[in-house]
Amino acid sequence: MSNGFLKDINTSNPLGTKGNLACAYAELMREIWAGRDDVVSPFNLKKMIGKFATQFSGYGQQDSQEFISYLIDGLQ
C-alpha cells in the first residue's frame, strides 16, 4: 500500500515489463483494500498483461493456470 515495492523493481531486464505489471497489480490491490467501491474491475491489470503476453490480449477463454503462471513470473 505504501509503494515500498518500487525500489525492488528491475527496470533493466530486457525480458521484463519494466515494472509496469507490478504497478498495475499494486493499483488493483490498493483499490481492493481501500474498500471504497462495492465492485473493483481488474481492467488495467488485464490490459497490461495483454500488452506483454498477447495470448491474453483478447477476451477469449484462456487457461487460468497459464494466466496465474505468467502473473507470478512477471511479479518476481
Q: How confident is the model at residue 7 (pLDDT cuts 50, 70, 90)?
A: confident
Give the pLDDT of residue 24: 93
What's the predicted TM-score (pTM) here? 0.78
**CA-to-CA distance for 58 and 76, rounded, in angstroms?**
24
Question: What are the pLDDT digits (tens) for 45-63?
Answer: 989 988 888 888 878 777 8
**Residue that the C-alpha cell 477476451 belongs to:** 59
pLDDT averaged over every residue in the chain: 86
